[in-house]
Structure 1
Amino acid sequence: MNVIVLLAFILCLLMVAIGGKQGVRSFLSLFLNFGVLFVTIFLMTNPKNSPIILTFVACTIISCISLFYINKTNSKTITAFISTMVTIVVLLLFITFVTKKLMIQGFGEESTEEISIFSLYIGVDFVQIGASVIIMSTIGAIMDVAISIATSMHEIFYRNPSISRKKLFTSGLNIGRDILGTDTNTLFFAFFGGYLSLLIWFKDLSYSIGEIVNSKVFSAEMTTIFCAGIGIALIIPIASSVNAYYLIRTREKTEKLS
């Protein structure tokens, strides 16, 4: 426990030293987002509550904390928030459909020994829980891309106020293409880092490549990576179009008033 407190203290010092007041807000937002996740998980245990609706509400609150609380309310965070919400809605519908078709919900046979003493009749829809887990795993990457594109496009617009909407949108896409590869690889290596022990266990049990690929644990995590990649790919044109529309619309209103 002392090590955890020490690491948290070091992280806080670094974030304050580098980010100043914004670093303090970023550090506090970690605990705020954790609180949102904790309350969401607690509410999901009630069969009367829909995990999908709870996930959407949680993602909305997390987006508000991560965008408006840390970076304050401005045109960049507003467009990033709108882009994030549009992408989340599309992903919720898509991921719910995918989890039903792939049947990756629940526990794999690798977890049989650990859960054998517990009752599985808990009245919770594991299909929706599976979809919620995937969405929660992607929200951070989606917001990261959304604010990166919003900030870059705003800077391009202010440097070149006469730029056309088409060129501004194309610039957003070009920025997104550079982000796409790195963020997708980040998710991929985060999976292998978190599940390295599982892969070693697969090797010790002499799993074949086919058995590894078809195991529920591996399939569920790969589905999460692919869905997160789809979310990152979707947010690029969505954020580019939202920012291009907002910036050009603002310029047109300014010209009319003048």
Structure 2
Amino acid sequence: MNVLVVLTIILLILMVLIGGKKGARSFIALLFNFVVLFFTILFMTDPNANPIILILLACTLISCINLFFINEVNIKTKTAFVSTIVTFVILLFFIVFLTESAMIQGFGTEEIDDYSTFSLFVGIDFMELAVAVIITSTIGAIVDIAISISSPMREISYHNPSMGRKELFLSGMSIGRDILGTSTNTLFFAFFGSYLALLIMFKDVSYSIGQIVNSKVFVAEMLTILVAGTGVAFTIPITAAITAFALVRKND
């Protein structure tokens, strides 16, 4: 049996044993997310398609799957979804500006040799593709932070229905501060884990610190991490404010 199939079955068994019904739904959601991204990539090969619009639609659908399918439709998932959309609207302009200013689109000199035998005239705007890549890398962290804040805030409000918006907001901010450090570290180590071979190659070719920092491949990945971290930081006050407003309004 294929190794990937075996690992998938092991993952499914563990998720069902540990998470029960919600674990099974999470596994199905993972498959749905894969299908969404697969078809999004297929549509991106169309020269007339806009990668940014396609990935925004895909990320919206992924957010719905991860929030509403796994955790069902309730006040905590609704506020998490609204917070995710608001954060993405704010980040989108920042990502487009940053990508155009840093000129990270396209391939770096370290990658040119691998693709030199292929035609790069694929009919896709590489700047829009770079924006789409950063958005895709950010969606998971933002959705995770949003539900991680709205869910405990809902529990706090349930057990303390007399709490006002300010108290709930401050509680959400306190929760967010505890999550912020671990989330940004997760993004940071994910980069080093996936690009460890690249860093070793930099060492083998005797790149100086200045050459590494100015390498397009390195800069593109670091910008992705920094934007994702910025998105996480933005999500905390936005989610805390929206959730506090919605919970107090519901209690009233």
TM-score range, shorter chain: over 0.9
Deviation beyond 2 Å, 4+ runs, structure 1: none
Match of residue 137 from structure 2: 137
Secondary structure at 1:94's aligned position in 2? helix
The offset of 1:19, in angstroms, is 0.9
| Whole-angstrom distance in 2 between the partners of 1:149 and 1:16 | 25
> Identity percentage over the alignment?
62
Query: What's the counterpart of residue 128 of structure 2?
Result: 128
Equivalent position of 2:99 in the other structure: 99
Q: Deviations over 1:219-251 (max 9, x none)?
A: 000000000000000000110011011011112
Tell me which amino acid in the other structure corresponds to 2:54: L
Provide TM-score, normalisation by structure 2: 0.98
Listed as ranges, the matches of 1:146-157 within 5 Å are: 146-157=146-157
CA RMSD in angstroms comes to 0.9
Contiguous gaps of at least 5 residues in structure 2: none
Counting only pairs closer than 5 Å after superposition, residues 54-69 of structure 1 correspond to structure 2 as 54-69=54-69
Q: How many residues align?
A: 252
Q: Distance in 2 between matches of 1:206 and 1:69?
A: 49
Question: What SS does the aligned partner of 2:49 have?
Answer: coil
Residue 118 (structure 1) aligned with residue 118 (structure 2): yes
Q: Is the 8 A contact 1:169 1:244 kept in 2?
A: yes
Q: How far has the Cα of 1:86 moved from its partner?
A: 0.9
Alpha-carbon offset, residue 6 of structure 1: 1.0
Conserved 8 A contact 1:108-1:215: yes
Q: CA separation in 1, counterparts of 2:127 and 2:16?
A: 41
Amino acid at match of 2:134: I
In the alignment, structure 1 residue 194 sits paired with structure 2 residue 194: yes
Q: Which runs of 5+ in 1 are unaligned?
A: 253-258
Aligned to 1:18: 18
- Output one character per residue of 1:29-64: Cα deviation in whole Å (capped at 9) or x when no partner: 111101111111111111211111111100110001
SS for the counterpart of 1:180 is: helix
Could you tell me which residue of structure 2 aligns to residue 42 of structure 1?
Answer: 42
- Distance, in Å, in 2 between the alignment partners of 1:168 and 1:31 is 35
State the SS of the aligned residue for 1:20.
Answer: helix
Of 84-93 and 183-192, more deviation after overlay is shown by: 84-93
SS in 1 for 2:163: coil
Letter in 2 for 1:127: M
Contact conserved, 1:52 with 1:92, CA < 8 A, in 2?
no
The one-letter amino acid of 1:135's match is: I
Shift of 1:2: 1.5
Aligned to 2:223: 223
* d(CA) in 1 for partners of 2:173, 2:92: 23
Which residue identity is paired with 1:221?
E
| 1:92-122 deviation digits (Å, cap 9, x = unpaired) | 1210111000000010000111111111111
Is contact 1:26–1:70 with CA below 8 Å preserved after alignment? Answer: yes
Q: State how far apart, in whole Å, the 2-side matches of 1:193 and 1:219 are.
A: 16
Q: CA–CA distance in 1 between the matches of 2:92 and 2:36?
A: 19
Cα distance between partner residues in 1 of 2:90 and 2:45: 25
Hey, what's the Cα distance between the residues in 2 that align with 1:213 and 1:77? 40
Query: Which residue number corresponds to residue 233 of structure 1?
Result: 233
TM-score for the superposition, normalised by structure 1: 0.96
